[in-house]
Chain A
């Protein structure tokens, strides 16, 4: 069975600090896909990144970076030089092949204080 754990329920940082959000997943499949979504206070869900199980390269997009490690079943998300606008709930999600079902983690609420 697939499962996603986000052990950090809430994190508070001061603006310009770096912050890492943890995501640990469980799956029996060798082919799977991992995702991060952002849910700002306005409530919509915003797609951030997709990574498939065959691509362990880390990715950087501006202040965002993702570290995918199959050996530890983790897909962690780092925000560098955090800003108040980064305040949101962040969800990690897993989809197994053939991928018709997503499982979301419980989310991590990030508060960036000015």
Chain B
């Protein structure tokens, strides 16, 4: 199993550009999450999903959108990128409600 994979690893965007961060897991997990980690800080939840077709907002959803059309994929869309969205983005998944989360390697995004 590859676990949780994220692409790209690094990206530089200009203000106002859009992009999609890809996240795929091959563990047949129902739960998937997107977090952002600002420099020297903890993780903040952006969006999460409890299964295909179901998504919900986390603590910091503004400026982002998600979709969950399949169990495996949970892309995060940034519209109109802003410097405040410069961060490392982590995708995670877990199998059951009481399980630990498995994290992807992260995407480092810089908005200039």
Contacts and interface: CB of A to CB of B under 8 A. Distances in A.
Interface stretch (A11-19, A39-47, A78-86): A39-47
A6 B86 CA distance: 25
A102 B101 contact: yes
B55 to A, nearest CB: 11
Interface residues of B, number: 23
Interface stretch (A21-29, A61-69, A93-101): A93-101
B29 to A, nearest CB: 12
B42 A50 contact: no
A103 B58 CA distance: 10
A102 B106 contact: no
Contacts of A44: 103, 105-106
B95 to A, nearest CB: 11
Most chain A beta-carbon contacts within 10 A, residue among B100, B103, B106: B100
B102 interface: yes
Interface string A90-112: 01000101111111111100000
A95 B30 CA distance: 16
Most chain B beta-carbon contacts within 10 A, residue among A44, A47, A102: A102
Given A47-B100, A50-B100, A101 B45 contact: yes
B42 A45 contact: no
B74 interface: no
Most chain B beta-carbon contacts within 10 A, residue among A33, A100, A101: A100
Contact of A100 (B41, B97, B100): B97
Interface in B10-38: 31, 33, 35
Contacts of A106: 41-42
Interface in B32-58: 33, 35, 41-43, 45, 48, 50, 56, 58
Given A50-B99, A101-B58, A107-B42, 4 more contacts: A44-B106, A45-B90, A47-B101, A105-B42
